[in-house]
Amino acid sequence: MPMVLRPRPFDLRLPVVLSHEGGFVQHPQDPGGATKFGITRETLARFRQKPVSVEDVRSLTTAEAAAIYRRLYWDPIRADELPAGVDLTVFDFAVNSGPSRAVRALQSALGVLVDGVVGPVTLAAARAADAASLIRRLTRDRLRFLSRLAIWPIFGRGWRRRVLAVEQEALRLANSTPQTQEGSI
């Protein structure tokens, strides 16, 4: 019987995030400045460990963006160890607002020590939680946080659409059987 390789959760969740990030953008009111695939100049410089230009951001490839998202966002939140759906919710939150803030929101929603680091207690609580309820709580907390930002009037409509779309996909994943979770998206 031939061995069937299933895509890893990261490879399935990344397209969801990228679908909301788009290509190169340099909005004058975005404090992140030039971005491509949601990767800012500052993030690209941190990843490459050297200063980068706007042109470097413009020429960013999807492969490098994926490597950045894996190393700087997915791995720090230990998303491979989170339940299906919760992984996407926390990952997208991390991409939008930083891994530490996303983890602190997760920990707060779980009622565990809020330290911004995913450890065994956070993972155990996430696995024991009702995934759908946790996803909904994280969505409410995320929208509450975003709506308090000074740039909400400019970007709020798009952020709200994104957060609610991610919630719907995350709920679908959480309600899928283990066999269909990794074959979807």
Query: Over the stretch 48-63, which tens digit does the pLDDT of each residue have?
Result: 999 999 999 999 999 9
Model pLDDT, residue 181 = 44
Reported confidence tier of residue 182, pLDDT bands at 50, 70, 90: very low
Q: Which residue has the higher pLDDT, 30 or 69?
A: 69
Tens-digit pLDDT profile for residues 108-153: 999 999 999 999 999 999 999 999 999 999 999 999 999 999 999 9
Look at domain 9-176 and name its CATH class: mainly alpha
Q: Which long-range contacts (CB under 8 A, 24 or more apart) does 92-101 make?
A: 92/16, 92/17, 92/20, 92/162, 92/163, 92/166, 93/138, 93/142, 95/17, 95/21, 95/38, 95/69, 96/38, 96/142, 96/146, 96/159, 96/162, 97/142, 97/145, 97/146, 99/72, 99/73, 101/145
Residues 145-164 have a mean pLDDT of 94
Asked whether the predicted pLDDT for residue 183 surpasses 70, the reply is no
**Each residue of 3-42: pLDDT tens digit?**
555 668 999 999 999 999 888 988 877 777 889 999 999 9
Average pLDDT across the chain, whole number: 91
